[in-house]
Structure 1
C-alpha cells in the first residue's frame, strides 16, 4: 500500500522501526549470524577465487560480516572497503585484519586508513557487498539515507568486472514483502540479498553489473 505522505517520509518511518529492531537483537543471535554469514559468503566466492571483494566494515548492530571478510582475506581475496568523500561519493581502500581504521565517516562509518582509489578498483571485483536496513522482491533496497551507494551503483555498468555480483547484506527478517520498501526515482535496485539463512534472489539480472550465476 502506498504511503500518502510520500516515499521520503515513509522511508524515514521504516528506518526508525528497523534501527530499533536491530538494537533489540540479542548477542547470541548476532554470534549465530556471524558464523552463518561466514559460511554463506564462502559459498558465494567459491566460483571466483581470484577476484577481489568490495565490502564494508559493519557497525555493531549491522549484520556481522567481519569474520567472513577475515576468512576471505585468508583465502587470498583482496578486500576493498569504502571511504566517504565530499559530494556523497565513495572511494575505496584496501583492508586486511591488521589495517588501522577510524570511525569518522557518514553515520559513524568505520573507514580504513590508507591510500584511496576510485571506481576503477571494480574492474577486479567479483563480489560487491552493499549495506542496507531492508530489501524487498523486485530489488528495492532501503539504505541509511545518505545516497552514497545509490550514486555509486549507478556508475557500475561503466566500471564493473563482467562477472561482478552485487549483493545487499541484511538479516533474514529484513527481507520484507513486495511493496514494503518505498522506492524513489534515484534508488538503485539490487539483484541479490545475503542473509544468515543464505542467498535470496530479488530480481532478474539486468546487465553486466548485476549478473549472477
Structure 2
C-alpha cells in the first residue's frame, strides 16, 4: 500500500516565486507532495493567482482583521490544520509568527531566508552584504523556531559577489538558488528523510554535521 503524499500548506505575502518553484517541481514529478493550500495575509499577493492557476486552494487571511498577533495566529493555525497539513512552508510570508504557533508546528515548518545564515538575519540582506564587502552571499532553508531566522539550517545555496554588483543583481542570482534548494528540502521532508530532533537536523537517519551548501552551477544531490 502506497502512503499518501505529504500534505503541504504554503504561506505567502507577495509574488510567490518560491511557491512557483514548488509547483514546477510537483508538476515535473520531482516533488512527491500534495500542495493542498496557499494562504496569504494579503489579498493582492500575486502568488494567489499562481496557486489558482495550478489548481491549488488559495485563501486570504488578512492580519488587519484581527486585534492581535496571537488572535491572527490562532486563526491561521486553524486554517492550516483544516487542510490536514503535515508541513508548513513559509515562502515570503512577511509576518513574525508567535512563539505558540511556531512551537505547535515545530519540526513541521520550514522557511527560506536570503542570506547564508547565521549571517544577516532579518531584512535587506543583499544591501547589507554589499555594504560589508563580502565575497559570498546566498540563501538558507531552515526549520522555524521562535528566534527570528535562527532555526537549524538544512541547506544553503551560495553565489559569488561580483564587482559592481547592485542589490537587485545580487538578489536575482540568489533567487535562482532559492528555487533550486527549497524544492529539494521539501522533497526530503515529503519522502520522510528529514526531521528535527531537538536542535539537530536529521537526514536519512543521521545528524547533519553541517548544512548542505551548494554553489551556483553544482548539481543537486539525490
**Which of the five TM-score ranges fits, normalised by the shorter chain?**
0.3 to 0.5
Look at both structures and tell me which one has the larger radius of gyration over its CA atoms.
2
The structure, 1 or 2, with the larger RCO (C-alpha pairs under 8 Å, 6+ apart) is 1
TM-score norm. by structure 1 comes to 0.36
Normalized per residue, which structure has more strand? Answer: 2
